Amino acid sequence: MEQTLIIFKPDAVQRGIIGEILTRFEKAGFKVVGLKMTEPDYDHYHEHYEGIGTLKTRKGEEIFESTLASMQDGPVVAMVIEGVEAVEAVRKMVGDTEPKSALPGTIRGDYAHVTYGQASSVGRGVANIVHASADSVEAEKEIKHWFKVEELYDYKVVHQQYTQPKK
């Protein structure tokens, strides 16, 4: 089984839609193995978005700094979920980075509509509800960065009966 990191960004927390979105992942059969509210500082986000995510290298200083500032608008909820090919499946559920381009049915497409242009005109990172690890290498690094080993739990969910050998 594969694990991936989801972060409910400050816009999701402040809009009170954490539960609704979390339910989508549960309904899709993912197992929640770690969950906490936290308010990380600049350095934590720097490591998350550049050390691991290479956002400054990929998109430049301005987008990087405005994204870090927007992430520090308030507390976030960090979550690790587990399932078959979880990283790829979750990215599909989350949708395109820019809500305007995210398809209806995806989380970013259903819960937001803002654009890169509008975000940059007000010096904000585009408010797009959740973060989800981009690939399995990033997922491993991100989970270590956000969670201690003892904050992740092992238990059985009913979905596992469908992914284990048939008796």
Judged by the rule CB under 6 A, the positions of this chain that interact with ligand ADP are 53, 55, 59, 63, 67, 97, 116, 119-120, 125-126, 128, 131, 134
Please state, in angstroms and rounded to a whole number, the distance separating the CA atoms of residues 136 and 161: 24
Helix (H) or strand (E) holding 32: strand 31-38
Shortest Å, Cβ 16 to ligand ADP: 20
Residue 151, Cβ neighbours under 10 Å: how many? 14
Smallest distance, Å, CB 51 to ligand ADP?
A: 13
How far is residue 130's CA from residue 89's CA, in Å, rounded to a whole number?
14
Instruction: Give CA–CA dist 114/132, Å, rounded.
Output: 18
55 or 86: whose CB is closer to ligand ADP? 55
Q: Which residues are catalytic?
A: 131
Other beta carbons within 10 Å of 85: 12
Amino acid at 84: V
Q: Minimum distance between the CB of residue 26 and ligand ADP, rounded to whole angstroms? A: 22
Please say which residue, 105 or 163, places its beta carbon nearer to ligand ADP. 105
Work out how close the CB of 123 gets to ligand ADP at its nearest, in angstroms, rounded to a whole number. Answer: 9
Residue 120 or 160 with smaller CB distance to ligand ADP:
120
Indicate the residue type of 97: T
Q: Which residue is nearest to ligand ADP (CB)?
A: 97
Q: Which is nearer to ligand ADP, 34 or 99 (CB)?
A: 99
- Dihedral of alpha carbons 155, 161, 163, 167, sign: positive
By the 8 A CB rule, do 13 and 127 touch?
Answer: no
